[in-house]
Amino acid sequence: MIHIDAKRLLCPMPVIRLSEAIAKVREGGIIQMTATDPGVLHDIPAWCKVHGHKVIEIDEKTDEIILIVEKQ
């Protein structure tokens, strides 16, 4: 599993970091992103849908958002 620390990064940086990480894993690989920008709640699922990947989980905590993405 790859972990991306996207805390304090604003759009489009979390999406760019996810794109870079996706390129490094095989199909079925899991990426966990921790972010603070609420825009990721829309941007990451939309990006995954366009590029054929799967958002497995989104966990909204008080001060951060954790997203789990699987490369398809």
End-to-end CA distance of the chain: 14
From residue 64, alpha-carbon distances to 36, 47, 50 in Å are 5, 20, 24
Beta bridge partners of 65: 35, 60
Q: Is 11 a catalytic residue?
A: yes
Which residue in 3, 10, 11, 20 is the catalytic one?
11
Residues marked active site are found at: 11
